[in-house]
Amino acid sequence: MDDMSKISQPNGSDGLHSDPSAALPGRMALFEHLSGSAAEREGGGDMLIPFAFEETLCRDVGAGLAPPSVHLWSHPGGVALGLRDSRLPFAGQAMQSLEARGIRAAVRHSGGAAVPLDQGVVNVSLILPKSRGTLDFHRDFRLLASLIAEAAGFSHPSAAAQILAGEVKGSYCPGDYDLSIGGRKFCGIAQRRQSHAYFVHAFVVVGGSGQERGELVRRFYEEAAQGAEGLDYPKVQPEIIGALGELGGPDSAAVFADGIRRAVTARGTELVKAADQAEETGYRLGYGDPRVLEAAKMLRERYAQ
């Protein structure tokens, strides 16, 4: 969408909170793999592990083996490419350049274009079973967008009140549900569907420099395209990207992640930690699970250069 629209804040009055179709399940499992945690280190720095984890968890949610879930994660450092990015004429060379600089590069299977991942970027995913009838992906995007605004609002209400939704031209991975403050994007939202479940996912730039991340992606595209005409890829303007901390919001991944937990529970949803879920039902899933490792291998082989 070209027009920007205001996202609801806690106790907001724009109708999102009162929309029953946008309600969260009454009980959700909470899986966390934030940078530096033992759970995150289990992935060994492989950037495809978080995506493989969510792919596996989504299948289990669809099969009724796992409850609806929230996944909070980050990665020490890398660039996750979209499928279109991988088809640019010199994408392989550009990915090798990133790797040579110590920046992991991989092609993800969910929608969107290139996004940088590091410990200052918090990824938020809602993994939900499909209900009968037609999926309203706009509803789910609005739901996650409002949760993100609410999460920021618990610690920084004045900044959260300025959050707008709508495509931010010149940003990396542009989309209708970009979230921005003062014209600078700090979040993008995408969705991935399976037969019986789906997940809606957001990357949220919390700490550090948004412009530096924008420059990283701009340089990737510059090398991957090398001036070829007629190619469809984001023309990134680094100054368009901002981090929440630069825009008056929380600058700590831990503070923002806590805000997400609070935003979910404030809607009446009981969040059950993964360890407690395992104790209660026997369902366990981690980054080192053989099924997750196999899914990561399949993703790498399917989308490898």
> Which residues are annotated as catalytic?
173
Q: Is 242 exposed, middle or buried (0-12, 13-18, 19+ CB in 10 A)?
A: buried
| Cβ neighbours of residue 300 closer than 8 Å, sequence gap 6 or more | 48, 106
The secondary structure element, H or E, covering residue 175 is none
Q: Which two tokens stand for residue 156?
A: 């920084």
Quick one: CA torsion of 16, 206, 74, 252, rounded to 10 degrees? Answer: -110
Q: Which two tokens stand for residue 216?
A: 């990283």
Q: What length does the chain have? A: 305
Q: Rounded distance, CA 27 to CA 19, Å? A: 18
Q: Rounded distance, CA 153 to CA 149, Å? A: 6
| Cβ neighbours of residue 145 closer than 8 Å, sequence gap 6 or more | 7, 165, 177, 179, 187, 189, 202
195 Rama class: left (phi>0) / alpha (psi -120 to 50) / beta:
alpha
